[in-house]
Amino acid sequence: QQQVKQSPQSLIVQKGGISIINCAYENTAFDYFPWYQQFPGKGPALLIAIRPDVSEKKEGRFTISFNKSAKQFSLHIMDSQPGDSATYFCAAMRAGNNRKLIWGLGTSLAVNP
Amino acid sequence: GAGVSQSPRYKVAKRGQDVALRCDPISGHVSLFWYQQALGQGPEFLTYFQNEAQLDKSGLPSDRFFAERPEGSVSTLKIQRTQQEDSAVYLCASADWPGELFFGEGSRLTVL
Return the SS3 of A4.
strand
pLDDT digits (tens, 9 = 90+) for A26-66: 999 898 999 999 999 899 999 999 998 999 999 999 999 99
| Cβ–Cβ < 8 Å for B75, B68 | yes
For residue B23, list chain A residues with Cβ-Cβ distance below 8 A.
none
Going by pLDDT thresholds of 50, 70 and 90, the confidence category of residue B104 is very high
CA separation for the pair A87, A79 (Å, rounded): 17
Q: Given this model, what pLDDT does residue B1 score?
A: 52
pLDDT at position B98 over 80 = no
Contacts of A96 (CB under 8 A, 6+ apart): none
What is the number of H-type helices and E-type strands within chain A? 0, 11
Q: Given this model, what pLDDT does residue A96 score?
A: 72
List phi, psi (to 5°) of A84.
Answer: -80, -10
Q: Given this model, what pLDDT does residue A99 score?
A: 78
Contacts of B106 (CB under 8 A, 6+ apart): A42, A43, B6, B9, B37, B89, B90, B91, B92
Among B48, B59, B106, the residue with its CB nearest the CB of A99 is B48
Return the SS3 of A36.
strand
Going by pLDDT thresholds of 50, 70 and 90, the confidence category of residue B82 is very high
Q: Given this model, what pLDDT does residue A97 score?
A: 66
CA separation for the pair B26, B15 (Å, rounded): 32
Contacts of A64 (CB under 8 A, 6+ apart): A33, A35, A48, A49, A50, A56, A57, A58, A73, A74, A75, A76
Query: With pLDDT > 90 as the criterion, what percentage of chain A qualifies?
Result: 81
The residue-averaged pLDDT of B11-22 equals 97
For residue B8, list chain A residues with Cβ-Cβ distance below 8 A.
none
Q: Which of A6-10, A39-43, B23-27, B98-102 has the lowest mean pLDDT?
A: B98-102
For residue B41, list chain A residues with Cβ-Cβ distance below 8 A.
105-106
Among B4, B43, B93, the residue with its CB nearest the CB of A103 is B43
The residue-averaged pLDDT of B85-107 equals 91
b/e burial code for range B77-103 (CB count within 10 A of at least 16 → b): bebeebeeebbbbbbbbbbeeeeebbb
B22-A41-B20 Cα angle (round to 5): 20
Instruction: Find which of B23, B29, B34, B45 to mutate to test the A interface (most A CBs within 10 Å of its CB).
Output: B45
Query: Cβ contact (<8 Å) for B55 and A42?
Result: no
The DSSP H or E segment spanning A69 is: none
Among A43, A100, A106, the residue with its CB nearest the CB of B56 is A100
Query: Cβ contact (<8 Å) for B43 and A99?
Result: no
Query: With pLDDT > 90 as the criterion, what percentage of chain B qualifies?
Result: 88
